[in-house]
Amino acid sequence: MFNVIVLGLTSFFTDISSEMVYPLIPFFLTTTLGASPALLGIIEGVAESVASLLKVVSGYISDKFRNRKVLAITGYSSSALGKFLLFIANSWGFVFAGRVVDRLGKGIRTAPRDALIAESTQENKHGMAFGLHRALDTTGAVIGVALAYFFLTQQAGKYREVFLWSLVPALFGVLLLFFVREKTRRQFSQSKPPSLRWKILPRKLQLFLVVAFIFTLGNSSNTFLLLRAQNLDFTPATAILLYLVYNIVYGIVSYPAGKLSDRIGRKHILVAGYAFYGLVYLGFAFVSAPEEAWILWGLFGLYGLYSGFTDGIERALITDLAPAEVRATAIGLHATILGIGLFPASFVAGELWQHIGPSAAFYFGGGMGIVAAIGLLFVL
């Protein structure tokens, strides 16, 4: 469990950094730099999708050379560089570059890091391990969002100062990675060489990845949730508190949900998580007047339940189903599929928002979430 704790603490500090920045981006773009919601959707979609192409490649390289630690350090360092680009941004182009570099870092680190977690844990405790990692990660997010709120209320409009301070925990997280204990190549000597062929994956894993892609087509960037709050007359500072509620619930639920999935199986919890997503997005569609805006407090909390019921458990499911010699590749493939789907999801959400109205974007996302939940009932 030593590696799980160290990697969890790395994510803890990295998420402090990321969540100091992430909830401020839609306001920085739309108020300071004058960008439109459609442009926000394009930036977020392209950044996530381009970066996601690296996730399966990074996983494959990790499996081939059995050197997960170096890739994890490289990925977390790139994310720190992305924060610096946001600090010097004076146009939406710099924000775009910063988001791409930050997401490229996530693309490089995700699969090897998750493979390290799986290899450091007994197979019947994968849910607990990934749940613990997500809980530490999200606790960092809670602190990061709280810091973003503090800086925003004490230094209103000084986004660049927040971006600069975010570098401190990001760099500390990178330093922690040097304490990770990785298996030697000799311990993998009996493993088959990895392959990128789709047909080597078990049938159940193939079907799960297809359903996950369908779900992602309705899973637009979380920045639209913050923009929705602003649209309903929440100030940027109060919108960040909504995001804080989401992260608190997410952090509380992740670990017990992971342990529960070890006991009763992943299927029921994942179906519940996808269904929660669909219902929450439909809720965001129904709330259309400022006098109803108080409902958003509950919706952000329910959105935290969705993340707690799905994020770590999806990773645990993949490590359960994937052959050991291609475990990182399968994790990376899942992340790549989700990232590729995020671009059309965010693009469609931005276009629906701009040309029809905010509710249309959330009706679409909610419908896709419910369809995917029904699909999981048959696939798993």
Using CB atoms within 10 A of its CB, is residue 322 exposed (0-12), middle (13-18) or buried (19+)?
buried
Phi, psi of 218 (to 5 degrees): -105, 5
The stretch 257-261 carries a mean pLDDT of 90
Query: What sign results for the dihedral spanned by CA atoms 316, 317, 321, 322?
Result: negative
Which of the 8 DSSP states describes residue 322? S
Two tokens, residue 84: 């610096």
Q: Is 142 exposed, middle or buried (0-12, 13-18, 19+ CB in 10 A)?
A: buried
Instruction: Indicate whether this model's pTM tops 0.75.
Output: yes
How much is the pLDDT for 370? 92
On the question of pLDDT at 186 being above 60, the answer is no
Which among 34, 148, 146 is positioned nearest to 95, based on CA atoms?
A: 34
Instruction: For domain 2-180+200-379, say whether CATH 3.30.565.10 is its number.
Output: no
In the chain, where the domains are located: 2-180+200-379
| pLDDT tens digits for range 312-350 | 899 889 888 888 778 888 888 888 888 778 778 888 888
* CB contact at 8 A, 339 and 57: no
CA 182 from chain center: how many Å?
25
Q: How many residues does the chain have?
A: 380
H helix intervals, the chain: 2-21, 25-27, 37-65, 68-87, 92-119, 126-154, 159-165, 167-176, 203-216, 223-231, 236-264, 266-286, 295-321, 327-355, 358-379
**Averaged confidence pLDDT in the chain:** 85
